[in-house]
Amino acid sequence: MSDEDDKHNILPPKAPSRTGLMTASLDLSDDNEKNGLNPRDYVSSLARGLEVLRAFNRTRRKMTLSEVAAETGNTRAGARRILLTLVHEGYAVADGKLFDLTPQVLELGYSVLSSKGAWDIARPFIDHLAEEIRESCSAAVLDKFDVVYVSGTQYHRVISVGISVGSRFPAHGTATGRVLLAAQPEEMWPGILQNIPLTPLTNRTVTNRLEFRKILEDVRDKGWSLVDQELEIGLMSIAVPLRNSMGGLVGAINVGVPTVRMTAEEMKDYILPRLLETSSNISQALKH
């Protein structure tokens, strides 16, 4: 079916979701046109593309064209057009007969989260943490292989760490970046580790891919990351993931401290417990 056909087709009854017991379907009958739900406003090709993305999330594996078609109810021709479009836009890769998603799909969710109310809710908790420990605190999301800071509080001292909202840094050299990378589904790790540019930012930056994988495994197991002067000499940072009440990854929060003021062990003993508590409190607040 072509995109032109979409303008003249009414959505068929929605199949039950495979991810939950209860579903909500959109009624596009003519009776509801008065409510603005005109069937001609529905773009079924977009819906089919979204279903392909959800199929990869459900299966958590690479799939052939035939498997994608069977999983989504598309024709082979329709599935092929969707997959090749995703490849062209950078959201998927083709490896022989197999298709797989790329880390670029993360931007679809994080770009929305960064502009929604989650960070408005988190801000008072971040402010409180900064005031308690008298250090600067920030929150970041992942954008491809960079972290973008979406909230933060700078605690002004003679020597302080200041990161403004919108600042962007390479993920591999930051505590927030490592926390966010380590939290990705493990089937995405080969693509991440193969494609992430491990550029040396200081003489302490880890640039070996095998070593970097071990670091991510350690961060995943511990649930936090500490980076010691790999982004900038004289700067340490420690970060933990921020999740909503359902366990979904929202971003990461971190504290940056000059090395002249605190050692790595002091960061772990003093900052980490308070950072973990703040993350937990924000997660609870996000469910309301």
Quick one: pLDDT at residue 12? 37
3-state helix, strand, coil in the chain (%, to 5): 45, 20, 35
Kindly state whether residues 37 and 143 are assigned to the same domain: no
Q: Which of 101, 135, 150 is the last residue of a domain?
A: 101
Kindly state whether residues 97 and 112 are assigned to the same domain: no
Kindly state whether residues 47 and 157 are assigned to the same domain: no
E strands, 19-134, in order: 63-64, 92-95, 98-101
Quick one: pLDDT at residue 57? 65
Q: Which of 59, 83, 101 is the last residue of a domain?
A: 101
Kindly state whether residues 76 and 149 are assigned to the same domain: no
- The answer to whether residues 227 and 237 touch, using CB atoms and an 8 Å cutoff, is yes
pLDDT of 107 > 70? The answer is no
Task: Band the pLDDT of 246: cuts 50, 70, 90.
Answer: confident
Q: Tell me the CA distances in angstroms from 49 to 53, 74, 77, one per residue in order.
A: 7, 10, 13
Q: Which amino acid is at 177?
A: G
pLDDT of 20 > 60? The answer is no
Report how far apart the first and last C-alpha atoms of the chain are (Å, whole number). 42
Kindly state whether residues 84 and 112 are assigned to the same domain: no
Kindly state whether residues 237 and 136 are assigned to the same domain: yes
Kindly state whether residues 143 and 265 are assigned to the same domain: yes
Quick one: pLDDT at residue 182? 95
- CATH number of the domain that 11 lies in? 1.10.10.10
Q: How many domains does the chain have?
A: 2
Quick one: pLDDT at residue 219? 96
Task: Band the pLDDT of 109: cuts 50, 70, 90.
Answer: low
Quick one: pLDDT at residue 198? 94
Q: Which of 39, 67, 101 is the last residue of a domain?
A: 101
- CATH number of the domain that 241 lies in? 3.30.450.40
Kindly state whether residues 262 and 200 are assigned to the same domain: yes
Kindly state whether residues 96 and 181 are assigned to the same domain: no
Average pLDDT, the chain: 79
pLDDT average, residue stretch 21-34: 40
Rounded CA separation 181/92 (Å): 18
Q: Give the tens place of pLDDT for each residue, 166-223.
A: 788 999 999 999 999 999 988 888 989 999 999 999 999 999 999 999 999 999 999 9
Rounded CA separation 36/57 (Å): 31
Domain that holds residue 167: 108-285
Kindly state whether residues 8 and 64 are assigned to the same domain: yes
pLDDT of 288 > 50? The answer is yes
Kindly state whether residues 113 and 23 are assigned to the same domain: no
Quick one: pLDDT at residue 2? 44
Kindly state whether residues 255 and 233 are assigned to the same domain: yes
pTM for the structure as a whole:
0.60
Rounded CA separation 100/94 (Å): 7
Quick one: pLDDT at residue 178? 97
